[in-house]
Amino acid sequence: MILEALTIGLVISACLAIFIDEAVYSIVALAGTFFLTSTLYAFNGAVFVAVFQFAIGVGTLAILFLSGEMLGGRVEKKPPRKNVLIVLLSGAVLSLPAVFLSIFGTTNSVPPIPFGETLWNLRAADVVLQGLVVFGVALGIGIVLYEKKRKGEL
């Protein structure tokens, strides 16, 4: 039951991170996504991956928070509550297949593979690409800040 709740929270916080217009609130939702992903890894026995995910999340959030405050303009209008409710409901609906598939799991004759082994053998490229994305975001923000400083806008 805990894993299903983590899955629902993960999908909802990811949807909120994408659709919220205010940078600070979007970064807080992204922080929830990183935290829930780390917790999900820890519950599945991949503690090293959970720590790695949490470390990447903290670095990413620091970069995004600082750049969002420096580069982002203020949104004067508040988003309608209807849009936030639509995002919450769509996130809950998107998480339903994962919840129901974990409750009504299929049986097969393939021997189980440990979670950690599966994670490192099948998702190693994903973890490396995630690090590259964070590096690309940091590099892009650095370039924007450098250009603004050079033009005297900061």
Domain that holds residue 18: 2-151
Instruction: Report residue 18 as tokens.
Output: 């994408």
- For residues 105 and 95, give the distance between their C-alpha atoms in angstroms, rounded to a whole number: 15
Phi, psi angles (nearest 5°) of residue 109: -95, 5
Instruction: For 37-48, write each residue's pLDDT tens digit.
Output: 889 888 887 787
Instruction: For 63-108, write each residue's pLDDT tens digit.
Output: 777 776 666 666 566 666 777 778 778 877 777 776 676 655 555 5
Task: Specify the number of domains making up the chain.
Answer: 1
CATH number, domain containing residue 74: 1.20.120
In this structure, the number of other CB atoms found within 10 A of the CB of residue 117 comes to: 10
Coil, strand or helix at 70: helix
Provide the whole-model pTM. Answer: 0.62
